[in-house]
Amino acid sequence: MSDLIKLLPDHVANQIAAGEVVQRPASVVKELLENAVDAGATKIVLTVKDSGKSLIQVVDNGCGMSAADARASFLRHATSKISSADDLYKLHTMGFRGEALASICAIAHVQLKTRRVGDELGTEINNEGSDVKSQEPVLCPEGTSVSVRNLFYNVPARRNFLSKDLTEYRHILEEFMRVALVHPDVAMNFINNDEDVFLLPIQQRRQRIVSIFGSSFNERLVPIEEETDIVKISGFVTKPEFAKTGRDLQYFFVNNRFFRDRYLGHAISAAYEGLVQSNKFPGYFIYLEVDPSAIDVNVHPTKTEIKFQDNQTIYAFLRSTIRQSLGKFNIAPSLDFARETTFDHIKMDLSRPVVMPEIKVNPKFNPFEATQSTTASGSLTKVDERETSVPNQDLWIEREHVTIASAMNEEIATEMKKPVQLQQKYILKEMRSGFILIDQYRAHVRILFDEFVRSEKAQVATQKLIFPEVLTYDVSDLVWEEVAGMLNTSGFELKIYKGEIEIIGVPQCAGDKNPKTMLNEIVDDYRSSLVDSDLDLQSSLCLAMARSLAIRGGKSLSSVEMSDLIEKLFACQSPHIASDGKKVIVKFELSELTQRFD
């Protein structure tokens, strides 16, 4: 019997490694940008075509490589960043594994041009599927240029599983922004399909954030700053009123490296406790500096997960720093228990003379005199003795109590047949076998979602604004342009300009909701639903609109409004389940209530 275990060919091993390092075009962008930063570049240009499927090119003005180093850079485990295992615990660079170029070459056509500072000629290497096709001297600028074409050309299954171009472009854009946000000292340009997306000069950190997310973003930022023996914290958080339903504006960096951490994210949520709604999330750009030996970045292939030696202490420092900054800029409420606040809002008219209070009484008033009655104005009037003559006062009082109780019981019985609102959040409706509780927000979302889905065939009614409003948006955020057309068939009337949206009309069901706030909520929710749900684009937009326009908890409803809501809910195809799978209706049987009283 022959042996079963054998070594894999290099090209197969490289393709397997590529599966870990290169998951999509954005993975290539990340690796190449980080290599350019590590090369000491002060200017980086990223060029992308067809969402990275046809071309990804990164050009930098860094230190460049010699001919021998250029050839060696395509080998697996070849790196200039570390030389021993101990170096993993004192990293100051972005990339260090030495697998990026080898993995990329295994699944693409790669051309490398590089020249060191001071060299007359550079080197050009053409590589296809891990095979070096050519290497020769070439005239080129100082620095390095890497062009990656035809990604996954020899792995058609991987290429077929890529998302649509817009989704892949979003991932590329996100990787570019992560590097740009943490390196404002590097000029960075982004060109997509021959169009300039970003032309970012060398600038300060706040300026870089504003340059990426738009000039209106400047007013949202609150600076944070704290330095301890364990961690140095700096950056910005957004004001509570700008909290969003999505988490797309949340960035953690440690030692100039982007990472994700739910535990530290909870510290930020705790700092905003009482300042934002539970379904909304503040944005933040937080930069941590710690001793490299106190973290382990080598825990995930993409290096976005990090282990801290003392994460509990960092949690406490982060929470207190943000809370302190919010208070310093008069955003978080402060409590002063030594001061009486009862009279804070009483306005005194100093021009009025001081007048002693008077007490006026009617000396003739006798509450036990049966022949007297008090009118609404407080004066006493005589009434007909025949109406007030009672043979037995105690019996009269008892009969009156019985009459009142009977009337109250009849009124309660009548009211219970109508829906009753609980805590301005739930609707109680009596049934023959018990009663049901309806979550009014989820119910309205269910109703509106079905209406908007049907609106593809029947136009949603639009109400014109008396004065159109203009909303500015970040031109790099393609979601706005993507949803604009669909919104115009769902009750909105919008005019789209470069970086601006003119709101002319909104759906009739929007009521008096602020049009700008509503649009921002719809786009944020739509962006989140694309990631968190399996709905198609149109359904995701319908769900986002429904969530934004639905009546939320805390709104008082009349009996007519509640009855109308219940009627429309049960006309839906799936009234008991919300679009996210959560319950809309909970039923209570009489038998359950009986057991509670046993």
- Between 449 and 318, the more confident residue is 318
| pLDDT confidence of residue 370 | 53
Tell me the CATH number for domain 206-328: 3.30.230.10
Mean pLDDT to the nearest integer, 180-184: 96
For the segment 422-451, what is each residue's pLDDT rounded down to a tens digit?
988 999 998 888 889 999 999 998 998 888
What are the phi and psi torsion angles at 512 (to 5°)? -100, 20
User: Higher confidence at residue 581 or residue 240?
Assistant: 240
The pLDDT of residue 394 is above 70:
no
pLDDT (tens digit per residue) in 523-556? 877 776 665 555 666 777 788 888 888 888 778 8
Which of residues 387 and 521 earns the better pLDDT score? 521
d(CA 48, CA 278): 39
Overall average pLDDT of the 134-163 stretch: 91
**395, pLDDT greater than 50:** no
Residue with the bigger pLDDT between 330 and 419: it is 419
pLDDT of 359 > 50? The answer is yes
pLDDT band with cut points at 50, 70 and 90 for residue 129: confident
Q: Which of 18-22, 139-143, 231-235 has the lowest mean pLDDT?
A: 18-22
pLDDT at residue 111, rounded to an integer: 96
387 pLDDT band (50/70/90 cuts)? very low
pLDDT of 507 above 90? no
Phi-psi region at 524: left, alpha or beta (left = phi > 0; alpha = psi -120 to 50): alpha
Q: Rounded distance, CA 442 to CA 185, Å?
A: 47
pLDDT tens-digit map of 30-74: 999 999 999 999 999 999 999 999 999 999 999 999 999 998 888
The confidence score (pLDDT) of residue 165 equals: 85
Per residue in 224-267, pLDDT (tens digit) is: 999 999 999 999 999 998 888 778 789 999 999 898 888 999 99
Residue range(s) of every CATH 3.30.230.10 domain in the chain:
206-328
Residue bearing tokens 């002693």: 356
Higher-confidence residue: 85 or 352? 352
pLDDT digits (tens, 9 = 90+) for 454-474: 765 456 678 888 888 888 877
How does DSSP classify residue 219?
Answer: G
pTM: 0.63
All CATH 3.30.565.10 domain ranges in the chain, comma separated: 10-202
Write down the H helix ranges in 298-380: 311-328
The reported pLDDT for the residue numbered 202 is 97
- % of the chain at pLDDT higher than 70: 75
Q: Which residues, at least 6 apart from 375, have a Cβ–Cβ distance to it below 8 Å?
A: 381
Report residue 23's pLDDT band, with 50, 70 and 90 as the boundaries: confident
Give the fold, CATH level 3, of 10-202: Heat Shock Protein 90 (3.30.565)
Averaged pLDDT, 178-194: 95
Question: Helices 205-213 and 165-182, interaxial angle, to 10°?
Answer: 160
Query: Is residue 339 scored above 60 in pLDDT?
Result: no
Mean pLDDT over 206-225 rounds to 90
Give me the torsion for CA of 362, 365, 371, 372, rounded to 10°: 50
CATH 3.40.470.10 fits 429-587, yes or no: no
pLDDT surpassing 70 at residue 181:
yes
Question: In this predicted structure, which of 53-62, 354-363, 495-504 has the lowest mean pLDDT?
Answer: 354-363
Give the confidence band of 333 by pLDDT, cuts at 50, 70, 90.
low
pLDDT of 176 above 70: yes
Contacts 24+ apart (CB under 8 A), 266-272: 266/315, 267/315, 267/316, 267/318, 267/319, 267/322, 268/237, 268/318, 268/319, 268/322, 270/319, 271/237, 271/318, 271/319, 271/320, 271/322, 271/323, 271/326, 272/240, 272/243, 272/322, 272/326
Residue 520 binned pLDDT confidence (cut-offs 50, 70, 90): confident
Q: Is the pLDDT assigned to residue 315 strictly greater than 60?
A: yes
- Residue keyed to tokens 């609106």: 455
Return the H-helix or E-strand segment holding 301: none
Which residue in this structure is represented by tokens 């990164």?
Answer: 58
In the chain, residues under CATH classification 3.30.1370.100 are: 429-587
Sign of the alpha-carbon torsion through 239, 242, 243, 247: negative
Which pLDDT belongs to residue 344?
A: 46
pLDDT bin (cut points 50, 70, 90) of residue 201 is very high
Higher pLDDT, 498 or 321: 321
